A and B are shown apart, each in its own frame.
Chain A
């Protein structure tokens, strides 16, 4: 079947006057929900994107996909997501460049070791094939790694990396085949609640009626939320990343140095893709800053050379940044908005949205189409922030 020319979205895609679900945001979350929802229902669906598809965090992340988490519900969710990732190339008819080279978490102090040992035990109980590895095991997996000062590591061979842009396009073209209207380069200027549903006003002057709206704009979600009087605590946080010149494939797993928050993987194109937690924290606020810094290059280079000395002579080609959509407790914000139940949040993924998107798309679509519930939806309820400070349950947040 040939995809129509608007398969990857277009400013000239016709929008119906009325839809059942309007999804705002053409990133991986919005498109994964659109694709799953169109597959299991006959609802009329439109996706509206302000710029081009994957222009936000979906096109800026490192593509890491792992079931090595520190919290049982996150582990279970990611086991499901990775199982779906394995089927997506065939289902979507696109090469997602999904490569299961594993994830290797390295600990260089007692706190990181304790966190890893606890998580490995939990992951194994839930059926993930994670193993504790000693220095010799680390050198077998990645001979280039320096094990100086390394206490231990955790390895899961089923974790991997995916090429983010391709996955987003795959969801888009499959959603379009199922009849989803994908409109790009079109801003939503206002959403007004009506007696039934909403009226959306677009930057083009068009108006659209929608029974329900999904806010899938991630770090940009606050603007639309505030215009409807919805006050949620997720904030944009700038995270930097870089890629190197391409090399012959040598690095199988994505390696995380947990003690300093460094991650490095080799993409299928051969480049190293790497980022790190900045010691002074990452700029956070309602304004989205996507600039780059020399401080990041310097800090990352020192940590990377210590972990993998052979990288010293390798060249950096390009650096960029993207926003984490950070929620105070590290958990996503998904479901009916407080006070405006027809306006549905799909935000707050705190840097993990890309890897969770396949499972989340399925869970949210089943809830939207059939009112089918899932335990994680109760945990992600947007109404949980009622003046209380919620502690983070997850301790494996990287980058």
Chain B
């Protein structure tokens, strides 16, 4: 892993950007998410959250008992407005 490695592939967040966020005083996963956009793309953190946690631990920026994930937001996976409205998306085209 180097400074140009992508930790969040949905939002293109690199190790260098995480270093910049930490340098600005962002300490928690919740703050890093907001400052870099990590975990706010289509996967909603399913790919990058554990990688971020490991990176913070390896750098000595967090301890395993003090590390908390960011709040999980519904829906569990992306879902169409049509399905939510109770409509069949195929019939709407």
Cα of A297 to Cα of B85 in the assembled complex, Å = 8
Q: What is the interface size of chain B, counting residues whose CB is below 8 A from a CB of the partner?
A: 31
A5:B25 contact, CB within 8 angstroms = yes
Q: Say whether, besides A8-B26, A52-B28, A312-B92, A319 and B73 are in contact (CB < 8 Å).
A: yes
Q: A8-B26, A59-B34, A245-B78 are in contact. Are A301 and B85 (CB under 8 A)?
A: yes
B81 touches A301 (CB 8 A): yes
Contact, CB under 8 Å: A318 / B73? yes
With A312-B81, A312-B87, A313-B82 as known contacts, state yes or no: A319 contacts B75, CB within 8 Å. yes
User: Which of A139-147, A303-311, A331-339 lies at the interface with chain B?
Assistant: A303-311
Residues of A within 8 A of B41 (CB): 246, 317
Q: In the complex, A347 Cα to B73 Cα: how many Å?
A: 28
- Bound-state Cα–Cα, A185 to B30, Å: 12
> What are the residues of chain A within 8 A of B23 when measuring CB–CB?
5
Write the nearest CB–CB distance from B82 to chain A, whole angstroms: 4
Query: Are B74 and A304 touching (Cβ within 8 A)?
Result: no
Q: For chain B residues 62-88, which have a beta carbon within 8 Å of chain A?
A: 71, 73-75, 78-82, 84-87
A124 within 8 A of B: no
Contact status B73-A302, CB under 8 Å: no
Q: Which of A272-324 contact B (CB under 8 A)?
A: 292, 294, 297-298, 300-302, 304-305, 309, 311-320
- Give the residue name and chain of the A residue nearest to B75 (CB): A316
> When each residue 3-31 of chain A gets 1 if its CB lies under 8 Å from chain B and 0 otherwise, what string results?
10111111100000000000000000000
In the complex, A105→B79 CA distance in Å?
28
A312 touches B25 (CB 8 A): no
Q: Is A54 an interface residue (CB 8 A)?
A: yes
Name the residue of chain B whose CB is nearest to the CB of A292: B74
Q: Using A10-B25, A59-B34 as known contacts, say yes or no to A316 and B84 having CB atoms under 8 A apart.
A: yes
Looking at the complex, which one of A7, A305, A311 makes contact with B25 (CB distance below 8 Å)? A7
List the B side residues contacting A311 at CB < 8 Å: 81
How many angstroms from the CA of A131 to the CA of B81 in the assembled complex?
31
In the bound complex, CA of A39 to CA of B78 (Å): 45
- By a CB distance below 8 angstroms, the chain B residues around A298 are 84-86
Q: In chain A, what residue has the closest Cβ to B89?
A: A313
The interface bits of chain B over 13-55 (1 if a CB of A lies within 8 angstroms of the residue's CB, else 0) are: 0000000000111111011001101001110100000000000
B2: CB under 8 A from chain A? Answer: no
Chain A contacts for B81, CB-based, 8 A: 244, 301, 304-305, 311-316
Choose one: B24, B74, B79, B82; the contact of A7 (CB below 8 Å).
B24
CB-CB contacts below 8 Å: A33-53 with B: 52
**Cross-chain contact of A315 among B78, B86, B87 (Cβ < 8 A):** B78
Q: Which residues of A sit under 8 angstroms from B71, Cβ to Cβ? A: 320
A313 and B93 in contact (CB under 8 A), knowing A6-B25, A301-B82, A305-B82?
A: yes
Closest chain-B Cβ to A244's Cβ sits at a distance in Å of 8
Please report the C-alpha to C-alpha distance between residue A309 and residue B75 in the assembled complex, in whole angstroms.
21
Q: Which 4 A-B pairs have the closest CB atoms?
A: A315-B78, A301-B85, A301-B84, A312-B82
Known: A301-B85, A312-B85. 16 other contacts (CB 8 A): A5-B24, A6-B25, A8-B24, A8-B25, A8-B35, A52-B26, A55-B30, A59-B34, A246-B41, A269-B37, A305-B81, A309-B92, A312-B81, A312-B92, A314-B81, A316-B81
| 28 examples of A-B residue contacts, CB within 8 angstroms | A8-B26, A8-B35, A9-B25, A10-B27, A52-B28, A52-B30, A54-B34, A59-B34, A292-B74, A294-B74, A298-B86, A300-B84, A301-B81, A302-B85, A305-B87, A309-B92, A312-B89, A312-B92, A313-B80, A313-B92, A313-B93, A314-B80, A314-B81, A315-B79, A315-B81, A316-B79, A317-B78, A319-B75
